[in-house]
Amino acid sequence: QVQLVESGGGLVQSGGSLSVSCAASGSIFNIRTMGWYRQAPGKQRELVATIGSGGSIDYANSVKGRFAISRDNAKRTVYLQMDSLKPEETAVYYCYAVVKSNIAVIYRDYWGQGTQVTVSS
């Protein structure tokens, strides 16, 4: 079994900064992509940023230059530093990872339970 546990998030004023992190645990053989998605009320879940095991990074256009994703492979943890936050970025932020467990033949997607980020105007 594989678990993704997020931490961080909370309430911040517009223009402020916040960070979230996500640690993967369980029967893990290898982790490929890790990343973050978000879902605002009434909207579809959308990509925020992803990072490959080799460090390749992809950002949503809307967060480029303001958000920074990083990962610590030894700790199986992915981080997201969010600066210059906007009220419209209020959402539940979900951790995501593509993982091959010790008992699996193939890689599959795993999701965290989500952490609330609220940006007040």
What tens digit of pLDDT does each residue of 7-50 get?
Answer: 999 999 999 999 999 999 999 999 999 999 999 999 999 999 99
3-state secondary structure of 15: coil
Can you tell me the distance from the alpha carbon of 86 to that of 106, in angstroms, rounded to the nearest whole number? 38
87 dihedral zone (left: phi>0; alpha: psi -120 to 50; beta):
alpha
Dihedral sign, Cα of residue 8, residue 33, residue 23, residue 42: positive
- Residue 97 near residue 31 (C-beta atoms within 8 A): yes
- pLDDT for the residue 24: 98
